Amino acid sequence: MSRELFWLTMTVILTGLLWVPYILDRIKVRGLLKAMDNPSPKDKPQSPWAQRLYFAHTNAVDNLVIFAPLVLILDSLGRSTQTTAIACAVYFWARLAHAIIYALGIPVLRTLAFAVGFLAQAALVLALFRLL
């Protein structure tokens, strides 16, 4: 497995697990049966951190749709370099930081973490066209 595919795998696992803490909060706040019920405007609101983590998870899914194909295209072309490996690692750590910072409610750092992930994706695009 290439380093890029390793970091893609780690990112998929992270994205796939981000829902767990906010569902646990939902169970804590509403109880197990109400947590499994269909959503309703009458539902007791979840903890603010869990609401923010939900949005962080949604954002992670949205960005995985961009990151994963870039990694797979580069891999299929055999374009693995030190730069692409670093960009993939940076992307993973930026997404992890983004989720934690978002859940903690720190707006400026959240945006910076998102921007770092975006720049890592941009580096992959540049590598795709052999511009980096």
User: Each residue of 31-77: pLDDT tens digit?
Assistant: 999 999 998 888 999 999 999 999 999 999 999 999 999 999 999 99
- Contact in structure between 79 and 127 (CB atoms under 8 Å): yes
- Nearest partner of 123 among 88, 95, 97, judged by Cα: 88
Compute the radius of gyration of the chain from its Cα atoms. Answer: 17
Q: Which fold has domain 3-128?
A: Four Helix Bundle (Hemerythrin (Met), subunit A) (1.20.120)
- Contact in structure between 19 and 57 (CB atoms under 8 Å): yes
Residue 129, SS3 per DSSP: coil
Q: pLDDT tens digit string along 83-100?
A: 999 999 999 999 999 999
* Distance (Å, whole) CA 91 – CA 8: 9
pLDDT at position 132, please? 74
* Distance (Å, whole) CA 117 – CA 89: 10
pLDDT at position 57, please? 98
